[in-house]
Amino acid sequence: MNILVTGAAGFIGSHVCEHFISQEHNVIGIDNFDDFYPINFKKLNLQELYKNQKFQFHKIDIRNNKSLNRIFTSNPIDVVIHLAAKAGVRPSIRNVAEYYDVNVNGTISLLECMRNNSVNKLLFGSSSSIYAIIKKFLFPNLIM
């Protein structure tokens, strides 16, 4: 199976790539190396993956339709695992437009490429930064 992983240079994304490569799948990783987390950590996350012939990496932004479409048209992709997002709750409040552009419009760009290239399997990893006012904790035993 050929798997496209967005956010591949992140901690979770790189481990997802490693898992699927260990299962003998081909993995195409993309990431834009956003500097919210140190770029050196992201490069370290990819270091072992680069050594594997089943892994290819493209440094692109998911909003870049032309580059994204080039990846889809030059690779037979079976499934997309979408982990790319602009992280950070506090900065998202200060810069709503940028976060909206990356997280919403970037996802739409990815979905359009999938539709245009007949890729219909998507695993979408939502943000860990989703908060709401709740009256009752869902996991009270985990609260310290």
pLDDT band at 88 (very low <50, low <70, confident <90, very high): confident
pLDDT band at 144 (very low <50, low <70, confident <90, very high): very low
Domain total in the chain: 1
**Residue from 87, 85, 62 nearest 72 by CA:** 62
> For 8-17, 76-85, 103-112, 122-131, which range has the lowest pLDDT when averaged over its residues?
122-131
**Residue from 52, 129, 121 nearest 86 by CA:** 129
The DSSP secondary structure of the chain, one letter per residue, reads -EEEEETTTSHHHHHHHHHHHHTT-EEEEEE---TTS-HHHHHHHHHTGGG-TTEEEEE--TT-HHHHHHHHHHS---EEEE------HHHHHH-HHHHHIIIIIHHHHHHHHHHHTT---EEE---S------SS-S-GGG--
Range of the domain at 48: 2-142
Residue 45's CATH number: 3.40.50.720
